[in-house]
Amino acid sequence: MLKQILFSLSFILTLAAFACSINRLAGFFRMTIPAFPIRDIGKRIRLTLSVAIGQTKIFRKPVLGLFHALVFWGFCIIIFGSIEMVLDGLSGSEKVLKILGPAYDVLMASGDIFALLVGVAIIIFLTRRLFFHIKRFEGDEMNSWSHKDATISLSFILILMISLITMNLGYVGLMSHTGGNIEGIYPIGILLFSMLHQLSAETFGLIYEVSWWLHILLIFLFANYLPYSKHFHVFMSIPNVFLSRLDPAGRLSNMESITREVKFMMNPEATPVPVPSDYQPERFGVKDAEDVTWKNYFDALSCTQCGRCTAVCPANITGRKLSPRKIMMDLRARMKEKGPLMVKHGRDFSDNRSLIRDYISEEEIWACTTCNACATECPVNIDHPSLIIDLRRYLVMEEASAPGELKAVFSNIENNGAPWQYSAEDRLLWTKDLEICENYPL
């Protein structure tokens, strides 16, 4: 009974703390602007099954991709055991999901095996981070906290896997010594028990109880650490893939207000759309965190900071400052800085700082070639170019700020109706001295 009370209190505290974190993020989302409508549900489900569940993008690097996929699939299986622990703790029962019969045996056996596989994979990931210089893990945006955060999260997962293995060992040993019925199948637990069978029932019981509490309390602690960590993608990655932008990679979206104005300019006789008296003109493009769409911010929260986007960015490879990973990290950091103040004082609050220049320089914004290599490579389907394009829109349409070459193009379009410096009448002068055969097939 005492165990049930203590567990219930810890569970309620965990839910309350997690709810506060989610409510905080929900307030930030309310500061953003609408994005595209969610349509083509069938296509989104297929995409989620392929990219998120099947981990197809991760397998572009087969060896490391396999280890990462094992971690993901392992979590998908092990979560059933975690749910059972919560139900057991609240009800005061033991192995409440055993009613599932043979399916329960499969789930427990899979979870036991995956605990070992995930543990091995995490050790490999920690070793690579701590002792090997992996280029895509570095960069100006990857400060000391980014590296510590990764180490802390991986350490959490490793201890979770060890405690799960020892919990299963303790359970198998306790039931074997006391003659109890072992619910479920635990291959790794049985293997370890065969090597440690000389231990007493009391020892196995202690191992089981300590590991049970350690495992579930670490889950509760880790769940409340994640919203403040890059590993928040544990929760965000699957929804982010489902909410992916389905338009072709190179298609740029148009601002509705600009499209309306252009159509009216091309057809002045058309009836203009009435404008409400209290209408406030929207900002062109993105200057600060409140100008991004909810999907842009969702992308920022989903970023795993793996660096695959930056590793394939042609601008970054050739020495430019642009790092697509940094763009996402900067948006998340800026919203973390300004979001609470906007929630408190209103969306129009200004702290005399902005995403542009204070976080992202103009050099970074204009270095992008919009090749979409970053979005193609991203394992959680983050759309970096859409945010970069909107940052450019603000610079051009609000500040008339652009590289000199672009300004010349804009001027030529305005004066000559084309990006070249020649008038329409002179555009074919280059053919004057050419000898063109009359019978040349066109």
How confident is the model over 153-212, as pLDDT tens digits?
999 999 999 999 999 999 999 999 998 889 999 999 999 999 998 999 999 999 999 999
3-state secondary structure of 293: strand
Average confidence (pLDDT) over 38-67: 92
The C-alpha torsion from 368 through 370 and 372 to 378, rounded to 10°, is 30
49: its two tokens: 């099954």
Q: Which two tokens stand for residue 324?
A: 């697509």
Q: For 337-348, what is each residue's pLDDT tens digit?
A: 999 999 999 998
pLDDT on residue 276: 62
**Which carries the bigger pLDDT value, residue 260 or residue 387?**
387
* DSSP helix/strand/coil, 360: strand
Whether 380 and 237 have beta carbons less than 8 Å apart is answered as yes
State the CB neighbour count (10 A cutoff) for residue 358: 14
Angstrom CA distances, 172 to 167, 168, 188, 371, 379, stand at 9, 6, 10, 55, 38
The pLDDT tens digits of the residues spanning 366-385 come to 999 999 999 999 999 999 99
Give me the DSSP letters along 391-410: HHHHHHHHH----HHHHHHH
Task: Give residue limits of the domains in the chain.
Answer: 2-30+61-230, 256-263+284-423
β-partners of residue 360 are 356
CATH 1.10.1060: does it fit domain 256-263+284-423?
yes
**Residue 244: left if φ>0, alpha if ψ -120 to 50, beta else—which one?**
beta
pLDDT for 280 equals 64
DSSP conformation class of 53: I
Distance of alpha carbon 26 from its chain centroid, rounded?
Answer: 16
Task: Encode pLDDT of 254-307 as tens digits.
Answer: 887 778 777 777 777 766 666 665 556 678 899 999 999 999 999 999 999 999
- Evaluate if residue 360 carries a pLDDT over 60: yes
Q: Are 177 and 201 a contacting pair, CB within 8 Å?
A: yes
Residue 440 pLDDT more than 60? Answer: no
> By C-alpha distance, which of 284, 246, 331, 296 is closest to 40?
246
Give the burial class of 337: count Cβ atoms within 10 A of its Cβ; 0-12 exposed, 13-18 middle, 19 or more buried: middle
Provide the mean pLDDT of the chain: 90
The contacts of residue 214 (CB under 8 Å, 6+ apart) are 159, 163
Please indicate whether residue 257 or residue 236 has the higher confidence score (pLDDT).
Answer: 236
Arithmetic mean of pLDDT, 26-53? 93
CA 403/CA 49 separation, integer angstroms? 42
Statement: residue 30 has pLDDT above 90: yes
pLDDT at residue 422, as a whole number = 78
Token pair listed for 307 = 């660096």
